[in-house]
Amino acid sequence: MDLDPGLAALHPLGPFFALHTAATARAPTATAAKSPAPPPTLAQAYRTPPPPDPDQAPTPTPAPDPLTLRLRKVARALRAPETRIAASVAHQGLAARLWSVALGCAALYGALPDLDARLLRWDPDGSAPDDLFLPEVHARPGDAASLAAAVLHGHLEPLSAALRARCPVAPGLLRGNAASALAGAGRQLDAWARAHGRDDVAARGCALTVELLAHPLLAGAGTLTGAAFRRRSCCLYYRVPQGGVCGDCCFTRPPRSSVRGRSE
């Protein structure tokens, strides 16, 4: 099946699956900067800011880069006591958006839009589905290897590197986030497909999810039983005020704040 310019088949699945394109006439603006200019590409967001030059006078109030802006937004919303908590939640949110778009397209269309980080625009102050905008829709193969190349290698690897350059967030935690976000997208897609009599979509989505969770970058991050997933790590959400453990967390109840270890 060909991709339609507006990726209309994604919208009934919910806001995490929807992706605005030029055909939807809903290109976002850089709301955080209060500017009519388009938001940055994700490739720009993944850049690591250079260290300050000691030979140059410091800028009085330097504008935050897009990823730092997102971390500050999430930290304020959660009242997160540590930057790494905001980094984890921001990472999982963007991972869920990317996996949902990719998995939804592959299962519904049998093809994937070109999600190159240099094309896909991201509003760091936006929320789903107004955070992502793809100016042009070009079909790519929809097999598991193509999804891994597009999402894992094209986005989540550089995103994880950019986050770890900003704060001490554990690689295993980010790996667990990526697997959890994929499993969550697969679970939501499966529920929608079965509710609408689309057994073909459910079967494709399940097969892709299983194959992707076996990818070397995700293998061992958790256990998939049917549509249910249990991760081996914790996203740290329990550390926010009134926070608890997520449904797929390795913990069954919030641990003491003194707990440290591999699971984080």
Residue type, 93: G
Q: Is the pLDDT of residue 56 over 80?
A: no
Q: What pLDDT sits at residue 160?
A: 97
**Per-residue pLDDT tens for 109-138?**
999 999 999 999 999 999 999 899 999 999
Nearest to 76 by CA among 246, 240, 243, 237: 240
Q: What pLDDT sits at residue 237?
A: 85
Using the structure block, give the residue that is written with the tokens 């935050």.
Answer: 64
Nearest to 155 by CA among 99, 203, 225: 99
Residue type, 14: G
Q: What pLDDT sits at residue 91?
A: 97
**Per-residue pLDDT tens for 72-114?**
999 999 999 999 999 999 999 999 999 999 999 999 999 999 9
Tell me the CA distances in angstroms from 14 to 72, 76, 97, 101, one per residue in order: 26, 26, 11, 10
Contact 264, 236 (CB under 8 A): yes
Q: Which residues pair with 41 in a beta bridge?
A: 121
The residue among 199 and 254 whose pLDDT is bigger is 199
- d(CA 150, CA 170) in angstroms, rounded, equals 23
Report percent pLDDT > 70 for the chain.
86
Q: What pLDDT sits at residue 159?
A: 98
**Per-residue pLDDT tens for 158-173?**
999 999 999 999 999 9
Q: What pLDDT sits at residue 92?
A: 96
**What letter would DSSP give residue 49?**
P
- d(CA 98, CA 10) in angstroms, rounded, equals 13
Q: Which two tokens stand for residue 19?
A: 């992706």
**Per-residue pLDDT tens for 189-222?**
999 999 999 999 999 999 999 999 999 999 999 9
Contact 125, 19 (CB under 8 A): no
- pLDDT interval class at 188 (50, 70, 90): very high
Q: Which two tokens stand for residue 157?
A: 């690897």
**Per-residue pLDDT tens for 138-157?**
999 999 999 999 999 999 99
- pLDDT interval class at 260 (50, 70, 90): very low
Contact 192, 13 (CB under 8 A): yes
- pLDDT interval class at 58 (50, 70, 90): low
- d(CA 6, CA 22) in angstroms, rounded, equals 7
Using the structure block, give the residue that is written with the tokens 């959890």.
Answer: 180
Residue type, 4: D
Predicted structure pTM score: 0.89
CA angle in degrees (0–180, nearest 5) for 32-125-154: 120
Q: Which two tokens stand for residue 164?
A: 């770890």
Q: What pLDDT sits at residue 263?
A: 42
